[in-house]
Amino acid sequence: MATEVVMPKLGLTMEQGTIGAWLVAEGDEVKKGKPILEVITDKVTMDVEAQVSGVLRKVLVAAGIEVDVNTPIGVIAAADEDIEALVNSLSSGGQSATTPADATPPPAPVAPVAPTPLVVAPVPVAQPAPPPAAVPVPVAAPARGAAPGNGRPHRASPKARSMAAERGVDLASISGSGPGGRIVSADISTLSPVVTPLAAAIPRQHVVGQAHVGEESVVQLTRPQQIAAERLTESSRDVPHIHVWMEISAVWLQQFRQGYSLEGKKISYNDLVVKAVARTLTEFPRFNGIYENGSVRQLADVNIGVAADTPQGLLVPVLKDVANLSVEQIAQETARLVDGARQGRLGLDDLMGGTFTISNLGMLGVSRFTAIINPPQVAILAIGAIEKRVVALENDALAVRPYMSVDLAADHRALDGAMCARFLGRLKQIIETPGLLA
């Protein structure tokens, strides 16, 4: 029986998804449990596998198109099964799907055939870290898949496609080493750095990542970057931000980190700050909530998102139940999440459920900055670098001490300035008091 392939709902908040690539060409056999396409959400890129075996008879939505969840995007059926009625039904049913450019016109209307919905299961895509940039030469044999001219897709991972685009590599000239002949990033990174006719034919100023001073370049945002830009724009426009900042002594942060280092434990300043923020949130539960329908829902668990810079753009992996974690556990989990984010190995669960966010640019030498709230959360904390400041002591003597600036951005619909001042005051007290920070 013919079966619809629909855009899966990969998360509780997911409303739309973009098809990154079809891993199976129209007319190819598919097997139950094998990936058939990649779906790009605002957080991660996922492989979606088929739950039935058959032939991918029809691709209803081409790669690069964004559609609503549960929109039919393909049809799997037996090789000799008549699917004209089903395709016609989907084409005339007002579905928000876009057919490929080479798709044939729909046949005359006939009685529709009730399809069997296909449930697809997401599988996280492993994406290795990007190698050093170079202009490679495709030297391998032709790809197993045909060139784009005949409508067959390149079997390539998102990372491999991104690297190929940056270096001007024609995927049709590469034989993939991955499962089923899929092209992976290693196939691109091992190519010899020699300029090819394809790369030479592209104007130098239009090759992403190859522009020089005085030359124009166009950088195409990834779909997650585009969605993040849209949502942060909405937050900046629709959420009334209030910013309250404070300087906090980092003397005990340095002392504690040094003590952990002597014990052979790798603890960062950020790990200690996360622990302090988690304790503060338990005492100020209104900051650990979400704004909805004119009210603030205070959440039971403290789940802190830690903004991370990755090759795919900004990601915010979430530390779960931080209030019940030790500093060592926070350090271990943060290292796992940040490394996974940069390697493209996070699942949706690692990126969901945040109740509060911390953004730290101190390690990049930024003294102070402001951040944009991640709705429906009601606050975000921006951490600056630890720097030496001249301060006045109690006896009016001057001394040099390590300090850091923190900026709390809050949703003024849910929180006011006095609340923010008390929150930061308590955070300052915890960080500056060894008995509270430990």
Whether residue 208 has pLDDT greater than 80: no
Whether residue 367 has pLDDT greater than 80: yes
Mean pLDDT check: name the lowest of 68-72, 201-205, 421-425: 201-205
Mean pLDDT check: name the lowest of 17-21, 186-190, 222-226: 186-190
- Residue 13 or residue 321, greater confidence: 321
User: How many angstroms separate the CA atoms of 277 and 241, rounded?
Assistant: 20
* Segment 285-294 mean pLDDT: 93
- 3-state percent breakdown (helix, strand, coil) of the chain, nearest 5: 30, 25, 45
Banded pLDDT at 204 (limits 50, 70, 90)? very low
Token representation of residue 119: 């449930």
E strands within 325-429? 356-360, 379-383, 387-392, 398-411
Banded pLDDT at 289 (limits 50, 70, 90)? very high
Amino acid 227: pLDDT: 78
pLDDT in tens, 214-269: 788 888 887 778 878 888 999 999 999 999 999 999 999 999 999 999 999 999 99
* Segment 337-362 mean pLDDT: 89
**What does DSSP assign to residue 172?**
G
Amino acid 221: pLDDT: 83
pLDDT exceeding 70 applies to what percent of the chain?
74
pLDDT in tens, 59-69: 888 888 888 88
pLDDT in tens, 290-307: 999 889 999 999 999 999
Amino acid 140: pLDDT: 38
Token representation of residue 229: 């830009």
The mean predicted confidence, pLDDT, of the chain is: 79
**What does DSSP assign to residue 235?**
H
Torsion angle (degrees, nearest 10) of CA 171, 174, 177, 181: 70
User: How many angstroms separate the CA atoms of 70 and 19, rounded?
Assistant: 13
Are the C-beta atoms of 259 and 304 separated by less than 8 Å? no
Strand partners, 21: 38
Amino acid 342: pLDDT: 86
Amino acid 48: pLDDT: 86
Whether residue 196 has pLDDT greater than 80: no
pLDDT in tens, 125-184: 444 444 444 444 343 333 333 334 444 445 666 667 666 766 667 777 777 776 567 777
User: How many angstroms separate the CA atoms of 240 and 160, rounded?
Assistant: 41
Mean pLDDT check: name the lowest of 224-233, 280-289, 331-340: 224-233
Mean pLDDT check: name the lowest of 38-42, 102-106, 225-229: 102-106
Amino acid 267: pLDDT: 95
Residues near 39 by Cβ (< 8 Å), separated by ≥ 6? 7, 8, 10, 17, 18, 19, 20, 45, 46, 48, 122
User: How many angstroms separate the CA atoms of 254 and 222, rounded?
Assistant: 38
Amino acid 11: pLDDT: 67
Residues near 240 by Cβ (< 8 Å), separated by ≥ 6? 411, 412, 413
Banded pLDDT at 3 (limits 50, 70, 90)? confident
CA-nearest of 51, 55, 56 to 73 is 56
Token representation of residue 111: 């009685």
Strand partners, 373: none
* Segment 172-200 mean pLDDT: 62
3-state SS class at 408? strand
Amino acid 148: pLDDT: 40
pTM of the predicted model as reported, rounded to 2 decimal places: 0.64
User: Tokens 């080479």, residue?
Assistant: 102
* Catalytic center residues: 412
Amino acid 212: pLDDT: 59
Amino acid 254: pLDDT: 95
Token representation of residue 414: 């849910």
CA-nearest of 137, 145, 129 to 63 is 145
Amino acid 236: pLDDT: 94
User: How many angstroms separate the CA atoms of 251 and 264, rounded?
Assistant: 20
Whether residue 283 has pLDDT greater than 50: yes
pLDDT exceeding 90 applies to what percent of the chain?
39
Domains of the chain: 3-124 (2.40.50.100), 126-220 (no CATH), 223-437 (3.30.559.10)
* Segment 92-121 mean pLDDT: 45
